[in-house]
Amino acid sequence: MSDEQQKSKSASFYEERGLIRHMVIITPEHREKLKIEAKKVGLIQGEFIEVLLDNVDFDSLAEKFKAKKAGKVEGKLTKADLLKKMKDLTPEQLAAINEIVEKK
């Protein structure tokens, strides 16, 4: 069976049950925690997440969400900041940057 046929078979299996396969990116530590906690209550990981989502008080987690987002964007250079910094570059410096970018 080809990869395409296998994917199609897998997709139809879930679609027939009203489900969607969905991938999320999480840390290995959170992946392990999800695996352990779902097993404890006898649910597959997707069902476990559904229960959490249906029962969590999102308003009570607002500060945690803000902190997570702040940590995620901390230290990142925004496009606006980059453009401000580039205004002061000489034509030679801009040409050097352009050369580097074109090599990739």
The 10s digit of each residue's pLDDT in 39-63 is: 999 999 999 999 999 999 999 999 9
pLDDT at 12: 85
Position 73 pLDDT exceeds 90: no
Place of tokens 């987002």: 69
In whole angstroms, what is the distance from residue 87 CA to residue 93 CA? Answer: 11
pTM for the full model?
0.60
pLDDT, mean of residues 19-28: 91
pLDDT, mean of residues 83-101: 86
**What pLDDT band is residue 6 in, cutting at 50, 70 and 90?**
low
In whole angstroms, what is the distance from residue 68 CA to residue 83 CA? Answer: 27
Nearest to 46 by CA among 13, 10, 14, 22: 22
